[in-house]
Each structure stands twice: as C-alpha cells, then as structure tokens.
Amino acid sequence: MGGRGLNATWPLSTATALCGVLAVARLAAAEQVVLEPAEDNTIFDEGALSNGRGTGLFAGVTGGGDIRRALLAFGVAGAIPAGSTITDAQLSLRVTRSISGNQPMTVHRLLADWGEGASNSTVMGGSMGADAAPGDATWTFRLFDTTMWANEGGDFVATASATQQVGNSGSATWGSNATMVADVQIWLDTPAGDFGWIVIGDESARPTSKRFGSSEAGSANRPKLTIHFDPPAGLPTATPTVTPSASPTRTASPTVTVAAPSATAAATATATAESTTTATAVASTPTVTSRAAATATVTATLTVSPEAPTATDTPTRTPLACIGDCDQSGSVNINDLVRGVSIALGNQPIDACPAFDPSGSGTVEINELIAGVSNALNGCPA
C-alpha cells in the first residue's frame, strides 16, 4: 500500500471501519481446520482409575470431594502444513451432564506424554471411573502401569492457557487468545512435544464437576479444536481450469473491436482431505511420538468469474462513479471492502475490482481504501 501509515486525523468511524475490514480480510485469507481429539481420557484422584474409551470426559470436584481432570490431544502436525503460522485457536467442549451451575474451568498445556487405553466407565454415567487398562493415563501414571507422572495429577504448565465459565448445558469455548495460539504453534513446530491440554475445574469447592462429551461420543458432542492458519509462502494450491463458454470474435472494420462473450467463464476448485487414526500403545520404555489427528477435514473453494471483456485497439479508462463499488451496484458493501483490502495486501489482482483503482496505478493505495470505506459508510456520491 505504498508504504504509507495510518493517519491519526482520520474520522473515528472511518478508522474503526477500516480496522474491521482489515481483520475480516485477514481471517478470510487464512485456512481453517477443525480437529477432533487423537486421544482423550479422564484421570481420577481415587487411585488407578481411568476412562479411555468412555463417552464422557470429567473435570472438577464431585459432591463427595473426589477430583477429576480431563486430558485431550489433537495431533496438530498431522493436519496443518509445516511452516504455517497459527492465527486463531479455539477449544470447544459440549457439556453433557452437570448440576453444579456456572463454574470456572481452565486449560493448561501438558508437558509429558500420556495414554488412552481400553478402560470404559459406565457406572454413574462414567463419573466413577473404571480400572485402568495398560497404557491408560491415571492420577499417578501417565502410561499405566509403566511410566509415572513427575507430579501426581499430571505434568502441565501452572499458568492457564485460558479460563472459561462453564454452565450446566451447551458448549463451552476456550480462546482464541495469544497463549492458546502459542500452544498450537508449539505443537505444529515441535510435534514430539504435542501432549495437548488438561482441563481443570475449581478444586477449592464442591461440587464443581462437569461431564463433557469425549471423542467416543456422538459427533455433535465431541470435542473440537478450530484452528485458523496462514500456510507457508509457496505452498502449492489447487489451480482451476477456466473454459469460456463462448469465444470472442473479430469483425472487419476500420476500428478493430473484440465482441464480448455471451456467457461468463467460471471455475471452481475444491480440495478435501480427511484422515482418521486411533492408536493404543503399551511399552516398557515409552517413546514420545507425534500423534496423528483423529479426524481432520480441510476444505478450500475457489471460484473465478471473469466479466465479459470489451476492448478496442486504443482503450480508454472509464471514470468510476463510486470508488470501491466492485460490482457497480451503486453501493459499497462489506464484500467489496474485503476484496479491496485483499488486493492491497497482494492476495488478489487489481482485475478483481478495478473500482478500487481510480488512479490507474495498478495497485490499491491507502487513500483509495479510505474512499471505499467512506462510500460504504455514507453512500456513493450522486
């Protein structure tokens, strides 16, 4: 954008709108992936209990004073290209049972590997736990019964990555914030250190416990980690093939002209990748390995719809009635503004919206963006 900074004398409404457009444009340009856990489990402070294959995850303190903590890991490196930059990360859990009302719950980044074995608790909705199976995480063992936690109850960063008030029903979402984004970036850059998060309730009172759906629950109740990321520069993308439905023709005339096609050309490229991996491992001397994402779905859609061209041997530029009005509808909407910002950032060519380049410089400059935002706020000039 010509290397120009934002002018502090802009009207507040214009500056606010432009900042909003920039934020929307960045999010729209990023890729998104939604992951379900590669593994999850609950640890119980009563002893060698676990719930690796149960449909519930538990966190908080029961009415009887027993503590539960939930463990989740997502296999980030198996779903996002190496070298990507994480821009947004949100963890969502679905409450499936609770009588404790609104309670604060924190997520902390785990510092050691742990396991999901074949244990499956069905008593009291799973809240009582089941005898740990080989490879399960328990309060004492991170891999039952061969490798112990350095600290009973799990090895994790003391400072919470995020805190959320959790009610008796519905979904609870942690993030996005800078710490959660940093956690996911660590897991992407160092897959061998991807041990996920531990969910901890208020352990100073009772009852505070909640049951959440686990990866074995129905699809609507499973944990979800939603990540936005910017792929590394030069990453190959799907290339659409554009086939015009009609070919331009030339006519003999003192002035050579090109007749506009009778239909527009369009191309759509869609790529979807999905993988599902479930692993159970037991070893006398465990080796930390990168987890594969249990379920990863990435979808990208690109549509190219060029307008019918009209050209002469000596083309002239038609003055624009309204800067930023990409579709010449007589007004500037949010989609027009996002397209203008995308062109200014170099993500789209100027041909995507010539209405943002009245100067004919071949780029969208900051003053042209300002004019577009002003037209969106105040209407196009008569």
Q: Does the structure show a pLDDT above 50 at 349?
A: yes
Residue 8, pLDDT > 80, answer no
Domains of the chain: 31-230 (2.60.120), 309-382 (1.10.1330)
Angle at 280 between CA 277 and CA 284, to 5 degrees: 140
Question: Residues 6 or more apart from 33 whose CB is under 8 A from it?
Answer: 79, 80, 226, 227, 229, 296, 297, 298
CA distance 65 to 227: 36
pTM reported for the whole predicted model: 0.60
Q: How far apart are CA 281 and CA 261, in angstroms?
A: 62
pLDDT 10s digits, 169-210 = 999 999 999 999 999 999 999 999 999 999 999 999 999 999
φ/ψ region of 294 (left if φ > 0, alpha if ψ in -120 to 50, else beta) reads: alpha
Q: pLDDT confidence of 324, banded at 50, 70, 90?
A: confident
Nearest CA to 359 out of 296, 329, 328, 317 is that of 317
Spatial separation of the C-alpha atoms in residues 69 and 154, rounded to whole Å: 9
H or E segment to which residue 272 belongs: strand 267-275
Q: Which two tokens stand for residue 363?
A: 């780029």
Residue-wise pLDDT for 16-57, tens only, equals 555 555 554 554 457 999 999 999 999 999 999 999 999 999
* Residue range 90-136, pLDDT digits in tens: 999 999 999 999 999 999 999 999 999 999 999 989 999 999 999 99
pLDDT confidence of residue 18: 57
